[in-house]
Structure 1
Amino acid sequence: MNTIQKMAVIGLGHMGKHMIHRLLPQFKGQIELSAICDSHEERLRREAAEIADSPRLYTDYRQLLNETELDMVYIAVPPSLHENVAKIAFEKGLHVFCEKPLANSLEEARVMTALAERSGKIHAVHFSLPLDPAVLKMKALLKERAIGAIAGMNLFLEFPQWPRAWQHNAWITSRQQGGYLLEVGIHWIQMIQQVFGPITHVQSQVTFPEDASQCESLVRAVLRLEDGTDIQLSGTDRREGDERVSLVIHGEEGRIALENWRDLQLGGPAEAEMQPVPLDDVSSPLPMLKQFLQCIQGEPGVIFNFHDGYNAQVILEALRHPGEGWVDVRDQLLGYSSAEM
Structure 2
Amino acid sequence: MTRDALSLGIIGAGIMGERMLGVVSAQTDIPVRVAGIWDPSPASLDRIACTFPAVTRMADADALIAASTCVYVASPPGSHIGYARRASAAGRSVFLEKPLAVDLEEARRFVAEGDAVGAVNFPFASSPAVATIARWIAEGAIGAPRRLVIDVAFAHWPRPWQTDAAAWLDARREGGFTREVVSHFLFLTRRLVGPLRELRGNANFPEPHRSERAIQATLRAGDVPVFVTGQVGGTRQDDHNTWTLLGESGAVRLRDWSIAERLRPNGQFETAPDALPNDQARLVALRRQLDGVVRMTRGEPHALATFVEALEVQEVVEGLVAR
TM-score over 0.5 for the pair: yes
What residue in structure 2 maps to residue 45 of structure 1?
46
Amino acid at match of 1:273: Q
**Gapped regions of structure 1 (runs ≥ 5):** 323-341
Shift of 1:186: 1.0
Q: Cα distance, 1:261 vs. partner?
A: 1.3
Match of 1:155 in 2: 150
TM-score normalized by the length of structure 2: 0.88
Match of 1:225 in 2: 221
Asked if the contact 1:254–1:267 (Cα under 8 Å) also holds between the matched residues in 2, the reply is yes
- Contact conserved, 1:8 with 1:74, CA < 8 A, in 2? yes
The residue type equivalent to 2:249 in the other structure is: E
In 1, the alpha carbon distance for the partners of 2:235 and 2:190 equals: 30
Alignment check: 8 A CA contact 2:126 2:304 kept: no
Please give the TM-score of this superposition, normalised by the length of structure 1.
0.84
Report matched runs for 1:211-222 at 5 Å: 211=208, 213-222=209-218
Q: How do 1:100-115 residues align onto structure 2 when only pairs under 5 Å count? A: 100-115=98-113
Alignment of 1:305-320 (within 5 A): 305-320=306-321
What CA distance in whole angstroms lies between the structure 2 residues aligned with 1:101 and 1:262? 21
Distance of 1:40 and 1:28 partners within structure 2: 32
More displaced stretch, 185-194 vs 245-254: 245-254
Query: 1-side partners of 2:274 and 2:199: how far apart?
Result: 33
Asked if 1:172 is matched to 2:172, the reply is no
Q: Secondary structure at the match of 2:201?
A: strand
Contact 1:156 1:246 in 2 (8 A): yes
In structure 2, stretches of 5+ residues that fail to align are 276-283
- Percent identity between the aligned chains? 28
Cα distance in 2 for partners of 1:15, 1:284 equals 13
Quickly say closer, same or farther: Cα 1:35–1:206, change in 2 above 3 A. Answer: same
Q: Name 1:84's counterpart in structure 2.
A: 82
What's the counterpart of residue 71 of structure 1?
A: 69
Could you say if the C-alpha distance between residues 156 and 40 of structure 1 is closer, same or farther in structure 2, counting changes exceeding 3 Å?
A: same
Q: 1:279 to 1:105 in 2, by over 3 A?
A: farther
Query: Which protein has the bigger helix share?
Result: 2
CA distance in 1, matches of 2:213, 2:138: 36
- Residues 125 and 305 in structure 2, CA contact (< 8 A), matched pair in contact too: no
Instruction: Give the distance between the partners of 1:24 and 1:79, measured in 2 at CA.
Output: 25
Does the Cα contact within 8 Å between 1:137 and 1:279 map onto a contact in 2? no
**Residue 299 and residue 53 in structure 1: after superposition, are their counterparts in 2 closer, same or farther (change >3 A)?**
farther
**Structure 1 residue 55: Cα displacement:** 1.2
1:183 deviates by 0.5
Q: Which moved more, 1:88-97 or 1:3-12?
A: 3-12
User: How far apart are 1:99 and its partner, in Å?
Assistant: 0.8
Q: Cα offset for 1:231? A: 1.2
How far apart, in 2, do the equivalents of 1:128 and 1:210 lie?
Answer: 31
**Corresponding residue to 1:191 among 188, 192, 201:** 188
CA distance in 1, matches of 2:168, 2:322: 18
Larger radius of gyration: 1
Distance verdict in 2 for CA 1:265–1:54, change over 3 Å = closer
Q: What is the aligned residue count?
A: 311
Larger relative contact order (Cα-Cα within 8 Å, sequence gap ≥ 6): 2
Per-residue CA deviations over 1:223-250 (Å, capped at 9, x if unaligned) read: 21221x2111111011132232111122
Structure 1 residues 233, 298: CA separation in 2 closer, same or farther (over 3 Å shift)?
A: closer
Offset at residue 8 of structure 1 (A)? 1.5
- Call closer, same or farther: CA 1:309–1:29 in 2, change over 3 Å: closer
Deviates more, 1:261-270 or 1:305-314: 261-270
Question: Which whole-Å CA distance do the structure 2 matches of 1:131 and 1:69 have between them?
Answer: 27
1:293 deviates by: 0.6
1:9 counterpart SS class: strand
Amino acid at match of 2:135: A
In structure 2, what residue type is equivalent to 1:142?
I
Residue pair 2:70, 2:95 contacting (<8 A) in 1 also: yes
Task: Say what the alpha-carbon RMSD is for the aligned residues.
Answer: 2.4
Q: How far apart in 2 are the matches of 1:320 and 1:264?
A: 29
Alpha-carbon distance change, 42 to 311 in structure 1, aligned in 2, over 3 angstroms: same
